């Protein structure tokens, strides 16, 4: 009897170990899929689309339970419509509807606060990976994953030496090339390096994307110069740039579609 009990205990322990190993494996796979830059898998696309439809259903129905909730929903819709209209006017979108898609930010999690958001439009609206995403204050980021009705955006605040962007500083003495390669979340400033020009860079000079990476990015506004630092015995400069975008309060986003 004791041998039989010991055998059962060993069998239970093996199952527990196997279960733990499987859980750890799934955890690492999920972590990898979250962190890696890739397109959505088919099952993820389905999940995102279903989640979007469920969210829309509950938003449109749960608020109609009582008058208070209806007023809350009406206020929200009125606010979003106003923001949408102001955004369209400031970007002159009405004249160029085929070039832009206005979407609502539907997900901005604490885990990836400086890296990612999700917006309420996908390939149904003609959006593809790597399209630029802007607001009326400037560049927000770039589309990294797309499903039918939802897409994920890599925020420009996640820029680093692994995903640098070529920029142009519109200085008084002429345009100056540089590389956007960092963001300081404490100061809220972007870092531009590789500036070799002797032309003066002044506070307030505009900084835009050069378009060297992609022609459709050319001229998209990033921000304005706040200060410069001289390095390498005066041979190069580090430029600090401030964006007017409030990355802590993203409500609407505009996707810039590439023209064929």
What's the 3-state SS for the chain? CHHHHHHHHHHHHHHHHHHHHHHHHHHHHHHHHHHCCCCCCHHHHHHHHHHHHHHHHHHHHHCCCCHHHHHHHHHHHHHHHHHHHHHHHHHCHHHHHHHEEEEEEEECCCCCCCCEEEECCCHHHCCCCCCEEEECCEEEEEEEEECCCCEEEEEHHHCCCCCCEEEEEEECCEEEEEEEEEEECCCCEEEEEEECCCCCCCCCCEEEECCCCCHHHCCCEEEEEEEEEEEHHHCEEEEEEECCCCCCCCCEEEEECCCC
Q: What is the pLDDT of residue 244?
A: 92
Which residues of the chain have a pLDDT value below 70? Answer: 1-19, 21, 23-98, 232-234, 259-260
Query: CATH homologous superfamily of domain 37-260?
Result: Rod shape-determining protein MreC, domain 2 (2.40.10.350)
Q: Give the predicted TM-score (pTM) of the model.
A: 0.67
* Structure confidence at residue 200 (pLDDT): 85
pLDDT score recorded for residue 252: 87
Give me the pLDDT at residue 82, please: 59
pLDDT at 197: 81
Check residue 236 and give its pLDDT. 80
pLDDT value at residue 89: 59
């Amino acid at each position: 009897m004791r041998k039989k009990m010991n055998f059962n205990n060993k069998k239970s322990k093996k199952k527990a170990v196997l279960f733990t190993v499987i859980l750890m494996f799934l955890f690492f796979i999920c972590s990898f899929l979250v962190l890696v830059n890739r397109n959505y898998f088919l099952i993820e696309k389905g999940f995102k689309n279903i989640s979007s439809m469920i969210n829309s259903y509950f938003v449109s129905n749960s608020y109609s339970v009582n008058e208070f909730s209806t007023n809350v929903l009406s206020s929200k819709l009125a606010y979003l419509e106003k923001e949408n209209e102001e955004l369209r006017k400031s970007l002159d979108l009405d004249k160029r509807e085929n070039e832009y898609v206005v979407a609502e930010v539907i997900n901005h999690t604490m885990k990836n606060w400086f890296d990612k958001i999700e917006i309420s439009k996908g390939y149904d609206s003609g959006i593809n990976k790597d399209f630029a995403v802007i607001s009326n204050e400037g560049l927000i980021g770039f589309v990294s994953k797309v499903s039918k009705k939802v897409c994920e955006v890599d925020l420009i605040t996640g820029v680093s030496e692994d995903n640098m962007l070529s920029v142009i500083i519109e200085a008084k003495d002429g345009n100056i090339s540089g590389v956007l390669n960092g963001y300081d979340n404490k100061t809220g400033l972007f870092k531009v390096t590789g500036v070799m020009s002797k032309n003066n860079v002044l506070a307030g000079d505009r900084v835009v994307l050069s378009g060297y990476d992609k022609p459709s990015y050319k001229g998209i506004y990033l921000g304005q110069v706040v200060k410069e630092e001289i390095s390498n015995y005066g041979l190069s400069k580090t430029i600090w740039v401030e964006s007017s975008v409030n990355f802590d309060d993203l409500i609407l986003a505009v996707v810039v579609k590439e023209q064929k």
